[in-house]
Chains A and B, each alone.
Chain A
């Protein structure tokens, strides 16, 4: 990947993060998890996925499913940047005149399936991947899981099935931001070594820095990692990435900032000083 390409991706990520910050007021959003997966989604839609606004009905398109649906502001922002929806439409966030709410749904062009309840879309992705195999297709199914989501038994049940059916067209990306909703994963239900858990379930695993576009490229241009095995990318990320006043903070799960705070955060994103955030805007949902 050239330096120019990396700069373009970084600029796109910056714009998506601006969209996320703007969605964190007037009702708010799950900002931390959105910021941690931003670079992953920007990379996937910009470079990896064979999908575009004109291919949304094409059975040969690549699929992306967001299983941890609460990070959907990152997807809304990415879809706006890639022209699936207008940027203007993001202003309808949480408004009754549109369907841009806290979890994804199929009324948004580019959203393949609704989510919100954790542990669902791996099995839905398995169904899509099975059908692609049955029809001899070459397209791939990407599913983004949260690390906290790995607590759900349905994930491990699904992995058994994905391995049994040799779904090497299935790409599981774990946004490893180290947090459950309100607490660090390793302090509550430890997950490490995640790599070995997935390997033991028959997957081929790569572990990368989920904010490094070159590492994302190196991993995601090699699918299938090995024939007849589900692909797993564990992307180490930072919850709240891009905003030091939010990064790795357990109390920045769901936020509803004031307009003034949004302006401060936008400045902070562009390298200005850390924002002074008031406790009242930090909520637990």
Chain B
């Protein structure tokens, strides 16, 4: 069952579900016909869509709103924060082509500060499914939950079988390695999994942690990894500021923890616009590149050498 079919199924038993879009129908092409008046396309008016979603929620509806992640979280930010956030209304924000998925569109379309912005809003929760299957599995719980949610939409097919049922605030932990813990979410789970396979071939034991929801976050999974593993690696198609690396840092401070953490994130600039596999290679985010960075870092840790994290100054892309 895909995302659209799942929404259709939920809409049949939950009459309060309404689907909205700011003229982005990529994920919901067949719903206008099925939902009738419960499908509302407001045109390219992200602010109005969010305000109207708040109004619909005041009347008992659960609006699932769609737009490209960058326009949704940035153009309409104050409406999300002020109407949905302060109001603590059950509006579900679904952002299309987040992170690297915007490919060759350029920085205008790069939602790589979305997690930072959304998790900074009190009441707002954040779901970053690893793949389409996880998105569809988590969707009923996200819709049932009374809080507002931001969802990083993905069409990616699963690279691993998910055995653990989706539970809000619980990470999916694969493997119990003690050398390296890979902490990731969303699109980057695929390349991270590839890195895990490469590292394991080199005899490095790996614990793979797919965070699933970044807010609430699985604090226990992170603390255990920090206590048990030699190195934690956060991997995300997001700016270094405010994403998973920051979340880990916040947890460490709160719990007086200290550990070796290697962040793999976008640090200096928006990423090079290109086709997906070229973006990954250019920015150093392929499984092979990630594995090699980790191997070098582990080696340096053993030898007591400090790894240069800020390795290159990237020229502005525009």
A in complex with B:
yes
| Residue from the set A112, A116, A117, A126 with the largest chain B CB neighbour count within 10 Å | A126
Which residues of B in the span 77-102 have a Cβ within 8 Å of any Cβ on A?
78-79, 82-83, 86-87
Task: For the complex, give the distance between the alpha carbons of A108 and B168 in Å.
Answer: 33
Contact A120 B51 (CB under 8 A): yes
Task: For the complex, give the distance between the alpha carbons of A105 and B107 in Å.
Answer: 38
Contact A157 B59 (CB under 8 A): no
Q: Does B201 contact A (CB under 8 A)?
A: no
Contact B52 A127 (CB under 8 A): yes
Q: Does B235 contact A (CB under 8 A)?
A: no
Interface string of B43-58 (1 = CB under 8 A from A): 1010111111111111
Contact B56 A161 (CB under 8 A): no
Q: Does B25 contact A (CB under 8 A)?
A: no
Contact A113 B53 (CB under 8 A): no
Task: For the complex, give the distance between the alpha carbons of A106 and B60 in Å.
Answer: 16
| Residue from the set A124, A153, A158 with the largest chain B CB neighbour count within 10 Å | A124
Task: For the complex, give the distance between the alpha carbons of A260 and B134 in Å.
Answer: 66
Residues in A with CB closer than 8 Å to B223 are none
Residues in B with CB closer than 8 Å to A157 are 45, 47-48
Contact A127 B79 (CB under 8 A): no
Task: For the complex, give the distance between the alpha carbons of A271 and B87 in Å.
Answer: 43
Stretch in B34-42, B190-198, B247-255 touching the partner? B34-42
Which residues of A in the span 114-157 have a Cβ within 8 Å of any Cβ on B?
114, 116-117, 119-134, 153-154, 157
Question: Given A117-B78, A160-B45, do A131 and B59 touch, yes or no (CB 8 Å)?
Answer: yes
CB distance from A250 to the nearest CB of B (A): 27
Contact A114 B58 (CB under 8 A): no
| Residue from the set A122, A131, A153 with the largest chain B CB neighbour count within 10 Å | A131
Q: Does A188 contact B (CB under 8 A)?
A: no
Residues in A with CB closer than 8 Å to B38 are 134
Q: Does B61 contact A (CB under 8 A)?
A: yes
CB distance from B52 to the nearest CB of A (A): 4
Residues in B with CB closer than 8 Å to A127 are 51-59, 63
Contact A161 B45 (CB under 8 A): yes
Task: For the complex, give the distance between the alpha carbons of A119 and B76 in Å.
Answer: 12
Tell me the nearest residue of chain B to A119, going by C-beta. Answer: B47
Contact A123 B59 (CB under 8 A): no
Q: Does A189 contact B (CB under 8 A)?
A: no
Tell me the nearest residue of chain B to A135, going by C-beta. Answer: B59
Contact B59 A59 (CB under 8 A): yes
Tell me the nearest residue of chain B to A114, going by C-beta. Answer: B86
Prevailing SS type, chain A contact patch? helix
Contact A130 B55 (CB under 8 A): yes
Q: Does A164 contact B (CB under 8 A)?
A: yes
Contact A120 B52 (CB under 8 A): no
Which of A59, A112, A117, A123 meets B48, CB within 8 Å?
Answer: A123
Contact B87 A123 (CB under 8 A): no
Contact B58 A113 (CB under 8 A): yes
CB distance from B117 to the nearest CB of A (A): 17
Task: For the complex, give the distance between the alpha carbons of A153 and B60 in Å.
Answer: 28
Task: For the complex, give the distance between the alpha carbons of A275 and B69 in Å.
Answer: 55
CB distance from A183 to the nearest CB of B (A): 24
Tell me the nearest residue of chain B to A125, going by C-beta. Answer: B55
Contact A121 B52 (CB under 8 A): no
Contact B56 A123 (CB under 8 A): no
Contact A158 B43 (CB under 8 A): no
CB distance from B307 to the nearest CB of A (A): 45
Contact B61 A131 (CB under 8 A): yes
Contact A124 B82 (CB under 8 A): no
Tell me the nearest residue of chain A to B78, going by C-beta. Answer: A117
Contact A124 B42 (CB under 8 A): no
Which of B18, B37, B51, B57 meets A122, CB within 8 Å?
Answer: B51
Which of A116, A129, A161 meets B42, CB within 8 Å?
Answer: A161
CB distance from B32 to the nearest CB of A (A): 14
Contact B48 A128 (CB under 8 A): no
Residues in B with CB closer than 8 Å to A116 are 82
Residues in A with CB closer than 8 Å to B49 are 123
Contact B86 A126 (CB under 8 A): no
CB distance from B56 to the nearest CB of A (A): 4
Which of A119, A134, A161 meets B37, CB within 8 Å?
Answer: A134
Residues in A with CB closer than 8 Å to B63 are 127
Contact B52 A126 (CB under 8 A): yes
Question: Given A59-B59, A131-B56, A134-B37, do A123 and B43 touch, yes or no (CB 8 Å)?
Answer: no
Task: For the complex, give the distance between the alpha carbons of A125 and B58 in Å.
Answer: 10
Task: For the complex, give the distance between the alpha carbons of A113 and B87 in Å.
Answer: 8
Q: What would 8 more interface pairs be, CB under 8 Å, given A134-B37, A164-B42? A: A120-B51, A123-B48, A123-B50, A124-B51, A125-B55, A127-B54, A128-B55, A131-B56
Can you list 24 A-B contacts (CB < 8 A)?
A59-B60, A114-B87, A116-B82, A119-B47, A122-B51, A123-B47, A123-B55, A123-B83, A124-B52, A126-B48, A127-B51, A127-B56, A128-B56, A131-B60, A131-B61, A133-B37, A134-B18, A134-B38, A158-B48, A160-B48, A161-B43, A161-B45, A161-B48, A164-B43
Q: Which 6 A-B pairs have the closest CB atoms?
A: A127-B55, A123-B51, A127-B52, A131-B59, A128-B55, A124-B55
